[in-house]
Amino acid sequence: MASSSSSKAVLLLTLCLISAAAAERTVGSFQCSARATCHALVDYSPTNDTTYSGIKALFGVKKLYSLLGANNLPTSTPPNTTVAAKQKIRVPFPCLCSSNSTSGVSNKVPVYTVKKGDVGLDDIARQTFSGLVTYQEIADHNNMSNPNLIQVGQRLWIPLPCSCDEVNETKVVHYGHLVESGSSVAGIAERFGTTEETLLKLNGMANASSLQADQVLDVPLKACSSSVRTDSLDSPLLVPNGTYVLTAYQCVKCNCDSANNWVLQCEASQLKSTNWSTCPSTQCSDSSSFSIVNTTSSTTCGSGTTCAYAGFNKTTIYTAQVPQPICPASNNTNAASKMVLHAWSWSFLFISIHLVLLLVFFL
Ligand SMILES: *[C@@H]1O[C@H](CO)[C@@H](O)[C@H](O)[C@H]1NC(C)=O
Ligand SMILES: *[C@@H]1O[C@H](CO)[C@@H](O)[C@H](O)[C@H]1NC(C)=O
Ligand SMILES: *[C@@H]1O[C@H](CO)[C@@H](O)[C@H](O)[C@H]1NC(C)=O
Ligand SMILES: *[C@@H]1O[C@H](CO)[C@@H](O)[C@H](O)[C@H]1NC(C)=O
Ligand SMILES: *[C@@H]1O[C@H](CO)[C@@H](O)[C@H](O)[C@H]1NC(C)=O
Ligand SMILES: *[C@@H]1O[C@H](CO)[C@@H](O)[C@H](O)[C@H]1NC(C)=O
Ligand SMILES: *[C@@H]1O[C@H](CO)[C@@H](O)[C@H](O)[C@H]1NC(C)=O
Ligand SMILES: *[C@@H]1O[C@H](CO)[C@@H](O)[C@H](O)[C@H]1NC(C)=O
Ligand SMILES: *[C@@H]1O[C@H](CO)[C@@H](O)[C@H](O)[C@H]1NC(C)=O
Ligand SMILES: *[C@@H]1O[C@H](CO)[C@@H](O)[C@H](O)[C@H]1NC(C)=O
Ligand SMILES: *[C@@H]1O[C@H](CO)[C@@H](O)[C@H](O)[C@H]1NC(C)=O
């Protein structure tokens, strides 16, 4: 009797250890070094066909545009557009790093309500949330003493992995990338503009061969530089390559494209504001035609100035005149010589206009 119950206990213990090992994320991944909140991204790969509004509701994303922007989809995309099973969608969410040396988790979202037919926590973690969390993590973060007991209508906070840490003293957007089978650490690093070394270190991986399909890899995405002021309500505005955000109560659309020298490109969105009856002016000067995105030179790389978006407060949209930043990223010497050339043509135009005016005056 005694030996049989002790062997049962051993068996149970072994099972627990196995599941704990399976549930444990590699040390080092999604670590936080200090208390902070920020925006993060995670891949979602639905088990069944769904829609953008379905994903928005499942993850508690506040605005459809945030979801569309994270995937660089047009703002006109209908919410009921089908997202096929297994397609990967980037979901934006708020991240909370609660203290030193812990893993970051999504800040109070998503909240999942247990439905009739949900088999258990593991099913919810794997099927509904495509393995972005484990049943153990859900149980731990919801203080469940028995993960096998769930009730219809019960509300569960799903702790998505994330971080707010800087990487190489640079502010980044941490992206939980669902690893596809057949991909390599080097390939992923190249695709997202980082290095193999950084990815290994950040994810606590000893070497590149420990990469596994369906692993959620912490990929730091570089964000575009912007002119947004520190006193702006959207500061720091971190927009990673290949995404856009709507800001200033939806009046301004800012897009990041590495091809624009990693400089954020903002423009009036032409959408209805969420908090203002009409969008405030985005002018840089009294001249009504000089507004954000306008440049003093019509060429793509000149010596003029650009009217840049610089943030907002409850009443105003800030703007700033900055030196024309949009130069081709590839060839520096070429760009520099072009700039000189444009400076020349600009002053040439200036002089010509004055000459013409002078002539008109005298004739
Ligand atoms: C989406 O909704 C619009 C109306 O809001 C409807 O006309 C359209 O057929 C729907 N599309 C799909 C794929 O359900
Ligand atoms: C974080 O923890 C490390 C050691 O674990 C300690 O040296 C450091 O001072 C802590 N930082 C803060 C801000 O608590
Ligand atoms: C996916 O569809 C199947 C069959 O229709 C259903 O049994 C299952 O519950 C669905 N899964 C999710 C996560 O909705
Ligand atoms: C779990 O318990 C801890 C400590 O008792 C508490 O701080 C935390 O808020 C609880 N979490 C939830 C989701 O109830
Ligand atoms: C930036 O995004 C584009 C697609 O939007 C992609 O082709 C390119 O590789 C990305 N570059 C970096 C450095 O992430
Ligand atoms: C961080 O710095 C190290 C050492 O300088 C470098 O090898 C690595 O590529 C950098 N990572 C990123 C993401 O820039
Ligand atoms: C990679 O690390 C694993 C342990 O994490 C080890 O078993 C394996 O031999 C290592 N491979 C190489 C090529 O170093
Ligand atoms: C913006 O409007 C929403 C409701 O329309 C409101 O909940 C929110 O507090 C407003 N934000 C600010 C900063 O006024
Ligand atoms: C400034 O940009 C707006 C919107 O793109 C455009 O309508 C306007 O013509 C531009 N003005 C100048 C001077 O380029
Ligand atoms: C917003 O900024 C403008 C211009 O700097 C300033 O005049 C205004 O008082 C500010 N409003 C608030 C609510 O801070
Ligand atoms: C830059 O342009 C020059 C002249 O057009 C060319 O010779 C050189 O190879 C280019 N360099 C790069 C890195 O593309």
CA of 43 to the centre of ligand 10 (A): 38
Ligand nearest to the CA of 317: 10
pLDDT score, position 79: 97
Ligand 11 atom with the smallest distance to the CA of 332 is 1
Would you say the CB of residue 45 lies under 6 angstroms from ligand 3?
A: no
pTM, two decimal places:
0.79
Would you say the CB of residue 29 lies under 6 angstroms from ligand 5?
A: no
CA of 151 to the centre of ligand 3 (A): 19
Among protein residues, the one with the nearest Cα to ligand 2's atom 3 is 100
pLDDT digits (tens, 9 = 90+) for 54-88: 999 999 999 999 999 999 999 999 999 999 999 99
> In whole angstroms, what is the distance from residue 250 CA to residue 275 CA?
8
- pLDDT class of 18 with cuts at 50, 70, 90: very low
- pLDDT class of 14 with cuts at 50, 70, 90: very low
20-24, 113-117, 336-340: which is most confident: 113-117
Ligand 4 atom with the smallest distance to the CA of 141 is 13
pLDDT score, position 23: 42
Ligand 8 pocket: which residues have CB below 6 Å? Answer: 274-275
pLDDT score, position 337: 38
Would you say the CB of residue 316 lies under 6 angstroms from ligand 10?
A: yes
The mean pLDDT of 32-58, rounded to a whole number, is: 96
Among protein residues, the one with the nearest Cα to ligand 1's atom 1 is 80
Q: Are 147 and 139 in contact (CB under 8 A)?
A: yes
**How many alpha carbons fall within 13 Å on the CB side of residue 33?**
5
> In whole angstroms, what is the distance from residue 336 CA to residue 343 CA?
11
CA of 332 to the centre of ligand 11 (A): 8
pLDDT digits (tens, 9 = 90+) for 301-353: 556 778 889 999 999 999 988 886 555 444 444 433 333 334 444 444 444 55
Judged against a pLDDT cut of 70, whether residue 362 lies above it is answered with no
φ/ψ of residue 142, rounded to 5:
-110, 15
Region of poorest pLDDT, from 2-11, 190-199, 207-216, 285-294: 2-11
CA of 350 to the centre of ligand 5 (A): 38
Amino acid at 108: K
Judged against a pLDDT cut of 70, whether residue 105 lies above it is answered with yes
DSSP string, 276-303: -SSPPP-BSSSSTT-BTT-BSSSSSS-S
Write down the mean pLDDT value for the chain: 83
Cis peptide before 110 (omega within 30 of 0): yes
CA of 288 to the centre of ligand 9 (A): 9
Judged against a pLDDT cut of 50, whether residue 284 lies above it is answered with yes
Would you say the CB of residue 78 lies under 6 angstroms from ligand 1?
A: yes
> In whole angstroms, what is the distance from residue 15 CA to residue 18 CA?
5
The mean pLDDT of 31-41, rounded to a whole number, is: 94
